[in-house]
Structure 1
Amino acid sequence: MRIAAIYARVSSEQQREAKTIASQTASLIEFAKNHDLEVPKEWVFEDDGYSGATLERPALERVRDLAAEGQIQVVLAYAPDRLSRKYAYQILLIEELARNGVETLFVKAPQGSSAEDQLLVQFQGMIAEYERAQILERSRRGKRHRAQSGEVSVMSGAPYGYWSRARGWQMRCLLVTG
């Protein structure tokens, strides 16, 4: 039986609150069982609230260290975009793991090693990067529209004394005494 590590990641606060990382981890544990992979409990790694656009993530670093130390043969991730939202980083990570003799498997990707299967994984990586860029652009455009409509403060960050309410932004009156 081969030894595997599980890597799961979510980036948004909404995903974090919905505990979607738990559903990823459960799917990965089931996948490991169905593929005769042993996953020690301490080798289930989760980056909860970390962007896939960077490689600086604590759980990912631990997985990379295990691979470099030769302690695992397989890394499991739910989909290529959970490993990284940047195509170049996905390839870098997959190749780094392969150089250490570690296979990378995804629940939501082709399971073979044919040229066609690899091409599909590459397409998934490129689409994930494009999707991230689209999300950022839509968010920027939406914030700008709301600011122009007077719905929100145009400041990049809410200063102390502001809070969000269901019906828009309100200012809390602060009494500063000397």
Structure 2
Amino acid sequence: MRTTAYVRVSTSRQAQAQTIEQQLDRLRAHVHACGEDLASEDIFRDDGYSGATLNRPGLDRLRDAVRTGEVERVLVTDPDRLARNYVQLMVLLEELERFGCVKAE
């Protein structure tokens, strides 16, 4: 099962409070505790992009990888890293699941 991580910060204040590296440290620790490693090609990131839109380069690449069956699990530190809007978040989660991503239990 290919596990990936999606990380994002949208503002300079956010970048200082919760940096991408802090998010990655948390996600790498989780993956490592599960007996896996997170390769650099398994990290999808968006620096300086708002969660108010789903049109982001890193998220677009992640969605493409999920659609083609390359990704089976996506980790985030918080659901708002994927989308700020609840409806957009639900649409995105349904899309990921429809293309084979497993749901965390």
TM-score, length basis structure 2: 0.89
Query: Residue 72 of structure 1: CA displacement?
Result: 1.2
64-73 vs 7-16, which deviates more?
7-16
Q: Secondary structure at the match of 1:98?
A: helix
The equivalent residue for 1:24 is: 23
Structure 1 residues 26 and 104: CA distance shift in structure 2, 3 A: farther
Q: How does 1:2-21 map to 2 (within 5 A)?
A: 2-16=1-15, 20-21=19-20
Question: One-letter code of the match for 1:83?
Answer: L
Q: How does 1:93-172 map to 2 (within 5 A)?
A: 93-105=92-104, 112=105
Q: How does 1:60-99 map to 2 (within 5 A)?
A: 60-99=59-98
User: In the aligned structure 2, how far is the partner of 1:69 from the partner of 1:38?
Assistant: 22
Q: How does 1:30-69 map to 2 (within 5 A)?
A: 30-69=29-68
Q: Which has the larger radius of gyration?
A: 1
Query: Residue 15 of structure 1: CA displacement?
Result: 2.5
Q: Secondary structure at the match of 2:2?
A: strand
Query: Residue 17 of structure 1: CA displacement?
Result: 5.0
TM-score, length basis structure 1: 0.54
Structure 1 residues 53 and 76: CA distance shift in structure 2, 3 A: same
RMSD: 1.7
Listed as ranges, the gaps of 5+ residues in structure 2 are none
- Bigger relative contact order, structure 1 or 2, given CA contacts below 8 A and separation 6+? 2
| Percentage of identical aligned residues | 40
Instruction: Count residues with an aligned counterpart.
Output: 105
Structure 1 residues 52 and 18: CA distance shift in structure 2, 3 A: same
Query: Residue 91 of structure 1: CA displacement?
Result: 0.6
Q: Deviations over 1:56-111 (max 9, x none)?
A: 11100111011001011101111111111000111111110101111255xxxxxx
Listed as ranges, the gaps of 5+ residues in structure 1 are 106-111, 113-178
